[in-house]
Amino acid sequence: MTATTDGSSGAPAPQATSATTAPPTDTTPQAAGTHGAAGRAIHRATDFLLARQDSEGWWKGDLDTNVTMDAEDLLLRQFLGIRDQATTDASALFIRGEQREDGTWATFYGGPGELSTTIEAYVALRLAGDAPDAPHMARASAWIRERGGIAEARVFTRIWLALFGWWKWDDLPELPPELIYFPKWMPLNIYDFGCWARQTIVPLTIVSAKRPVRPAPFPLDELHTDARNPNPAKPLAPVASWDGAFQRLDKIMHGYHRMALKPLRKAAINSAARWIIERQENDGCWGGIQPPAVYSVIALHLLGYDLQHPVLKAGLESLDRFAVWREDGARMIEACQSPVWDTCLAIIALADAGVPGDHPALVKAADWMITEQIDRPGDWSVRKPRLEPGGWAFEFHNDNYPDIDDTAEVVLALRRVRHPDTARLERAIDRGVRWNLGMQSKNGAWAAFDVDNTSPFPNRLPFCDFGEVIDPPSADVTGHVVEMLAVEGMSHDPRTRRGIEWLLAEQEANGAWFGRWGVNYVYGTGSVVPALVAAGLPTSHPAVRRAVSWLESVQNEDGGWGEDLRSYRYEDWKGQGASTASQTGWALMALLSAGERESKAVERGVTYLAETQTEDGTWDEPYFTGTGFPWDFSINYHLYRHVFPLTALGRYVHGEPFEARSAAAEES
């Protein structure tokens, strides 16, 4: 099969394997037993997933992060004067339930206590009426003081405290709104920041310029090591160092804040406000994620926008839709919602598990995803002005920020569907492929949202002390794009080959790949190996064999795979952690694509999934296996525990979904 000149394969969608298709055979009794257990698990998991499809065609699981989302929601409502007792009580119930025995709050399940998270949770509970001398509060405040108090918290936490006078604005890094005027070729222009950081920084420039203070409802002296001197001076880094240079630049910016030309500052603030309003989505949110929405509401409110103004009213209503109410009455705030991502992964899982490609559930899901394709330029077009739109975003409404990863996986999902309107399906796929190809970075790889978003300067700013603020290419996203291009018959396209070369160069010495958007080396390796094999690398290739050896070496005694978030920070955690269903699914997907179906490692992994499946057909997974920012911001996607094990089990029973097609493409 050869690619057409427009970048698509021109071939009809392949038929998804049906449940009656004969699987690869293995005549050993033990393998037959494993095969039977896998088949039974597939049946239960398929029923579970089909029953949870929305009537509109999509799937969405809850998205757990950490209690800073809930604490900041209460602080926002306090700042705006709209905090009510019922919401406060429900949020406090959730926050209390997440506190650890030592009084702290962590950023992921089973992780260590984290200072800023604990401070924000503590303040939220004070808002809810919890007394500072209550045992759970006293434990938290003592732990906070032992680690330096508020002065050692990250900048974003201290900004929230500054809004109520609990911290001095002068003791925060400066963020001038005049940044909005920096041209795109100039260092530290707003498009040097990753889209998630850009959407947050622009409204915060307004907040930083205005420096508002609302009356604090209570003091927080108990969170300082010395309430009389809460922020003792610290020595500057050497002037010749990057840190020292940016610290001194920040001092200059503080001086500029006092002397800024009023007409220029006013114009910059107005330009930033216009930028914010132009990027509000149809549902009232900004970028489909909670933090930019929160800061955008605050910024516009400071500029005189009434809470009943259509922009702010829609923004606040959108934030309410991030709330998940639990059966016990607790209220949890999602940082984001993931229907497009969840839906394409669900289609892949069901199709690979044997659900026919023309099944009504898959056709309905494909219809919904096609309507979600983005047909207008977004921020990505600043650096790709001639590229036609055609990507998909992660969320329900996020037309400004489609992402490359979702687009690749949506195409892979649509290729599994036998849609009655073939022409419509092909048009959507063709546009998605074209857009993804156009978003390739100079080094041959792909990032999540932007092209060549690799400036070294944003991460150096004193303001940027939390999480990633740039969007460089990653192995997991590049792997997904390469796999998609291979399925589209473009394995030999020079752009695909450049992506493969980059992936081969990025392999770690131990055989694994770093996982930027999932935890961590298991995710990276599980994303890359299937892509390389789909693109034509033989399973005997040294890179594939090294990956197989590494995965086998980190398999747990129970047969599963697991990796803790600490692997982002500590070498000895690579591939180490309690077994989870999602990470076991990733490892099995890599091993199966590498031709290891009859290996002992695969048999043990499949057995682990079959034996740990719950009676209702899914898997329990309290551990966080998704990544927002490596180490700093972690995610528990509730559907991961289901779609990835089902995909792996389906491929174990029915074989690789595009195996026959790839072989035919290689022969032609």
Model confidence pLDDT, tens digit, residues 286-324 = 999 988 999 999 999 999 999 999 999 999 999 999 999
Exposed (0-12), middle (13-18) or buried (19+): which is 25, by Cβ within 10 Å?
exposed
Which CATH topology does 40-61+338-453+475-667 take? Glycosyltransferase (1.50.10)
Strand partners, 324: 332
Quick one: which H or E segment has residue 593?
Answer: helix 581-593
353 contacts 45 by C-beta, under 8 angstroms = yes
Model confidence pLDDT, tens digit, residues 252-283 = 888 888 888 999 999 999 999 999 999 999 99
Can you tell me the mean pLDDT for 335-353? 97
Cβ-based neighbours of 571, under 8 Å, separated by 6 or more: none
Can you tell me the mean pLDDT for 463-478? 92
Q: In this model, does residue 496 exceed pLDDT 50?
A: yes
Model confidence pLDDT, tens digit, residues 525-573 = 999 999 999 999 999 999 999 999 999 999 999 999 999 999 999 999 9
**What pLDDT, on a 0 to 100 scale, did the predictor assign at position 638?**
97
Q: Which residues of 290-308 are buried (b: 16+ CB within 10 A; e: fewer)?
A: bbbbbbbbbbbbbeebeee
SS3 222: helix
Q: In this model, does residue 578 exceed pLDDT 50?
A: yes
CATH class, 66-229+243-333 region: mainly alpha
Grade residue 587 by pLDDT with cuts at 50, 70 and 90. Answer: very high
Grade residue 466 by pLDDT with cuts at 50, 70 and 90. Answer: confident
Can you tell me the mean pLDDT for 112-131? 98
Cβ-based neighbours of 649, under 8 Å, separated by 6 or more: 38, 41, 42, 45, 353, 588, 606, 609, 610
Neighbours of 325 (CB within 10 A): 11
Can you tell me the mean pLDDT for 409-431? 97
Grade residue 658 by pLDDT with cuts at 50, 70 and 90. Answer: confident
Grade residue 442 by pLDDT with cuts at 50, 70 and 90. Answer: very high
Can you tell me the mean pLDDT for 359-375? 98
C-alpha dist (Å) from residue 194 to 110, 218, 406: 29, 36, 17
Radius of gyration of the chain (CA): 25
Copy the structure tokens of residue 367.
């219809």
**What pLDDT, on a 0 to 100 scale, did the predictor assign at position 30?**
60
In percent, how much of the chain has pLDDT > 70? 94
**What pLDDT, on a 0 to 100 scale, did the predictor assign at position 28?**
52
| Alpha-carbon gap, residue 479 to 501, rounded angstroms | 11
In percent, how much of the chain has pLDDT > 90? 86
Model confidence pLDDT, tens digit, residues 138-169 = 999 999 999 999 999 999 999 999 999 999 99
| Alpha-carbon gap, residue 630 to 507, rounded angstroms | 18
| Alpha-carbon gap, residue 300 to 317, rounded angstroms | 15
From-to residues of CATH 1.50.10.20 in the chain: 40-61+338-453+475-667, 66-229+243-333
| Alpha-carbon gap, residue 140 to 135, rounded angstroms | 9
**What pLDDT, on a 0 to 100 scale, did the predictor assign at position 31?**
61
Neighbours of 454 (CB within 10 A): 15
Q: In this model, does residue 6 exceed pLDDT 50?
A: no
Determine the Cα angle at 175 with ends 169 and 176, to 5°: 110
405 a catalytic residue? yes
Exposed (0-12), middle (13-18) or buried (19+): which is 129, by Cβ within 10 Å?
exposed
- The conformational region for residue 234 under phi > 0 = left, psi -120 to 50 = alpha, else beta, is beta
Copy the structure tokens of residue 262.
């009023």
Q: In this model, does residue 662 exceed pLDDT 80?
A: no
Of 64, 352, 405, 632, the active-site residue reads 405
Helix then strand count (H, E) for the chain reads 23, 5
Model confidence pLDDT, tens digit, residues 68-105 = 999 999 999 999 999 999 999 999 999 999 999 999 99
Model confidence pLDDT, tens digit, residues 29-75 = 566 689 999 999 999 999 999 999 999 999 999 999 999 999 999 99
Cβ-based neighbours of 245, under 8 Å, separated by 6 or more: 239, 460
Grade residue 231 by pLDDT with cuts at 50, 70 and 90. Answer: confident
Model confidence pLDDT, tens digit, residues 76-85 = 999 999 999 9
Q: In this model, does residue 8 exceed pLDDT 70?
A: no
Phi, psi at 559, each rounded to 5°: 95, -15
Model confidence pLDDT, tens digit, residues 598-625 = 999 999 999 999 999 999 999 999 999 9
Instruction: Report which of residues 641 and 11 the model is more confident about.
Output: 641
Copy the structure tokens of residue 189.
């222009």
Phi, psi at 636, each rounded to 5°: -110, 100
User: What does DSSP assign to residue 302?
Assistant: H
The strand ranges marked E within 18-128 are 63-64
Alpha helices (H) along 449-506:
475-487, 494-506
226 contacts 442 by C-beta, under 8 angstroms = no
| Alpha-carbon gap, residue 72 to 160, rounded angstroms | 8
| Alpha-carbon gap, residue 451 to 381, rounded angstroms | 9
Copy the structure tokens of residue 107.
């950023």
Cβ-based neighbours of 134, under 8 Å, separated by 6 or more: none
Exposed (0-12), middle (13-18) or buried (19+): which is 467, by Cβ within 10 Å?
middle
**Closest to 60 in 3D by CA, of 646, 641, 648, 638:** 638
| Alpha-carbon gap, residue 48 to 269, rounded angstroms | 51
Cβ-based neighbours of 12, under 8 Å, separated by 6 or more: 422
| Alpha-carbon gap, residue 33 to 19, rounded angstroms | 18
Q: Which residue has the tokens 């906070």?
A: 144
Diameter over CA atoms, the chain: 81
